[in-house]
Homo-oligomer: A and B are copies of this chain.
Amino acid sequence: MLSYTEENYLKTIYHLSEGGHKSVLTNEIAASLLTKAATVTDMIKKLSLKEFITYEKYYGVNVTKKGKAHALTIVRKHRLWETFLVEKLGFAWDEVHDVAEQLEHINSSLLIEKLDAFLDYPTADPHGHPIPDKHGKIKQEKQIVLKEALVNKPLVVCAVRNGSSPFLQYLSKIGVSIGVSITVRERIEFDGSLEVSIQNKKPQLISREAAENILVKE
């Protein structure tokens, strides 16, 4: 059994490792969790003792199979709760993350299975992020970053990379949400900004930063 804090460390390490594919350094974890490196060192010793990660002094940590499995249950809970908040309670997509940060630590497998059924087994959360199934399996569809999209090819918004409130609110304002159609009309080489048409409406400019944080599919 992991504590609330240990779960947060494990989830953060899992995300920073990009799903277990690369090792993660002490300072990255500290920056991500707004703690100090010394605190992280203590915690990673604990997590490696419990075999959720492996740890080589001075060279960072890697998530073990056991660690990845547990991290996935936390991600699953986080995303199911976010889906519940939007679909059933009427939250906006920029209001759910902080509440889900708390709800993801509720410990009841019956609860999470019933919630999953109640939501009709969703495969993506309100930000388009995939929801692992009860076995930890993720259904990943292929998606590309809007910034790299071909000009004049009609695409559909399928996820955001950055889930911060200001960004999500900005997207809502310009009419972007999951499932909306979007076509790049012109790429401005000077600053990387794009002229895009959303739902076939009058083209508008979006910044390079925005275009790097919108994921689309055909």
Seen from chain A, the residues whose Cβ lies within 8 Å of a Cβ on chain B are: 85, 88-91, 95, 98-99, 102-103, 106-108, 110-111, 114-115, 118
Query: Are A102 and B108 in touch, CB under 8 angstroms?
Result: yes
Q: Which residues of B contact A102 (CB under 8 A)?
A: 106-108
Q: Which residues of B contact A114 (CB under 8 A)?
A: 85, 89-91
- Indicate how many identical chains form the complex: 2
- Chain A, interface SS category: helix
- In the complex where A88-B118, A118-B88 touch, is A106 in contact with B108 (Cβ < 8 A)? no
Can you sample 6 A-B contacts with CB below 8 Å? Answer: A85-B114, A89-B114, A90-B114, A98-B108, A99-B106, A102-B108
Provide the bound-state CA to CA distance between A121 and B85, in Å.
17
Closest 7 CB pairs of A and B: A89-B114, A99-B108, A102-B106, A99-B111, A89-B118, A90-B114, A103-B106
Q: Which residues of B contact A90 (CB under 8 A)?
A: 114
Provide the bound-state CA to CA distance between A95 and B102, in Å.
21
A136 CB → nearest B CB, Å:
22
Q: Which residues of B contact A110 (CB under 8 A)?
A: 91, 95, 99
Q: Which residues of B contact A118 (CB under 8 A)?
A: 88-89
Q: Of all chain B residues, which has the CB nearest A99?
A: B108
A109 CB → nearest B CB, Å:
11
